[in-house]
Amino acid sequence: MPLVCLTDFQAYAQKHLSKSTWDYIEGGADECFTRDDNITAFKRIRLRPRYLKDVQEVDTRTTVQGEEITAPICISPTGFHCLVWPDGEMSTARAAQAAGICYITSTYASCALEDIVATAPRGLRWFQLYMQSDKQLNKQLVQKVESLGFKALVITVDVPKLGNRRQDIQNQLDLKMNLLLKDLRSTKERNPMPYFQMFPIDASFCWNDLSWLQSITRLPIILKGILTKEDAELAVKHNVHGIIVSNHGGRQLDDVLASGEYGVEEVLNIIKNEFHTSMALTGCRSVAEINQDLIQFSRL
């Protein structure tokens, strides 16, 4: 039976992965209230259709930091891809390059950064930075990714302390940070890379939060928590610079990777096609035509 949506890939992953790996991908912290409420919050949002507009040609392309991508979509930074596929993040990077979108590599990547770059040399790549208490370590890590051609840093700001992941503890899954000081080599300082602020969505989120955030920071906003084509279009309507495909913890692409590099490519194409459909049904022929007037909330 063909896999036609993310839910299908999720079911495939659950069938083929070990229990501990599945629990790591799908689990949240404590009682998972935030995970479940995130999904519920997005399900309330609808798009207003617009008819009798010429949408024979719909262009999903956009640019971010001067780089053209095929759609305003990025792959969320998640770690330890080798848990679900031998090539790990290298497969993810190749799929993102083939799809023409941005791949944000995690600080907790299970493949060497050099290998990720070498396997997808033409891909647009950013690096997600978990700030460490050791400032020198942060500096060395930033210099390393800059020397490898990463175009921007995505700073994670919502994890002052790791959550209590009960299932991982019960499964005795102990994943150590894949970062060795001896592998970091100081490089000549250059002009700093651009920074992005990754803004996570939770149940209390409303779109006015974005306007407030944009008023107090000059950093471009990357919205994490995107689940469907409607989510993606809503984000663009609110002047978000990019979106990150993810589920509750950003690990839905890990589900997809359980079916290999082809699975990641296929899902990215599914999301892009759904985004194209959503634009057509709302009368938008380009990303620039997407606006807040198309937003409505379900009354059910």
Q: Residue 155 pairs with which residues in a beta bridge?
A: 129, 197
Q: Is 248 a catalytic residue?
A: yes
Going by C-alpha positions, the residue among 233, 234, 231 that lies closest to residue 252 is 231
- Which one of 81, 238, 248, 276 is the catalytic residue? 248
Based on C-alpha coordinates, what's the Rg of the chain?
19
Measured CA to CA, the distance from residue 86 to residue 257 in angstroms comes to 10
User: Tokens at residue 269, please?
Assistant: 């194409």
Q: How far is CA 73 from CA 57, 104, 140, 241, 269, in A?
A: 20, 11, 29, 10, 11
The whole-angstrom separation of Cα 265 and Cα 95 is 5
User: Roughly how many angstroms between the first and final C-alpha of the chain, as a whole number?
Assistant: 33
Q: How many angstroms separate the CA atoms of 298 and 41, rounded?
A: 11
Three-state SS sequence of 153-173: EEEECCCCCCCCCHHHHHCCC
Cβ contacts of residue 157 below 8 Å, gap of 6+?
197, 198
The span from the CA of 132 to the CA of 138, in Å, is 6
The two most distant CA atoms of the chain are separated, in Å, by 62
Active site positions, annotated: 248
